[in-house]
Amino acid sequence: MASEDWKLYGFAPVPRDPEVLFKNHPTASGPSPKQDLFVVDDFPLPDTPVVREVRAFAQRELDEQTFNHSNRVFVYGAALVKTHFPEWKFNETPTAVETYALSCLLHDIGTADKFLATTYMSFEFKGAIVARDLILSLGGPEPEADGVCDAIIRHQDIFVKGWVSVISKRVEWEEADIGGRGNITTVGQILQLSTILDNVGLRANLIHPRLIETTTAKFPRKGWSGHFARVIEKELALKPWCHTSTFEVPNWKEGVQSKFATDVRGNDVMRPFD
Provide the CATH number for the domain formed by 5-273 in this structure: 1.10.3210.10
Distance CA 215, CA 76 (A): 8
Predicted confidence (pLDDT) per residue in 85-113, tens digit: 998 887 788 999 999 999 999 999 999 99
Contact assessment for residue 42 and residue 122, using Cβ atoms and an 8 Å cutoff: no
177 pairs with which residues across the strands? Answer: 161
Helices in the chain by DSSP H: which ranges? Answer: 5-8, 18-22, 49-61, 64-84, 94-106, 113-116, 123-137, 142-153, 186-200, 209-218, 224-238, 259-265
Contact assessment for residue 261 and residue 239, using Cβ atoms and an 8 Å cutoff: no
pLDDT at 162: 39
Whole-number mean pLDDT of the chain?
Answer: 89
CA atoms within 13 A on the CB side of 240: 10
pLDDT at 4: 62
174 pairs with which residues across the strands? Answer: 163
pTM value > 0.75:
yes
Domain boundaries, the chain: 5-273
